[in-house]
Amino acid sequence: MLTVYFEDHGQDFLEWDIEDGKVVGCRPFQGWLWKGKQVHNTSIQPGDFLVISGKDGVRLTMKYAVEKVVELAAKQ
């Protein structure tokens, strides 16, 4: 699992937890909106803009760049 930190431009979300290409956590707000979204980037690095899609299948590029990526150990 990865935790992705976005550059802060005053948006309501700053961190996403991504597991198996899906958003599974969002902080501090808007989890209801972002959880379950598919992330299409195969590698995520600082400076990247994530490409996502929702239930309708339309792909969108996020407006906020990735600031930091932390890889979390898998739960056992």
Task: Decide which of 54 and 23 is more confident.
Answer: 23
Q: Does any domain span residue 76? A: no
User: What residues are paired with 1 via a beta bridge?
Assistant: none
Q: Does any domain span residue 12? A: yes
pLDDT at 22 over 90: yes
The confidence score (pLDDT) of residue 56 equals 80
Question: Contact 39/23 with Cβ under 8 angstroms?
Answer: yes
Model-level pTM? 0.89
Domain count within the chain:
1
Give the DSSP per-residue string, 33-52. HHTT-EE--SS--TT---EE
Count of CB atoms within 10 A of residue 33's CB?
A: 13
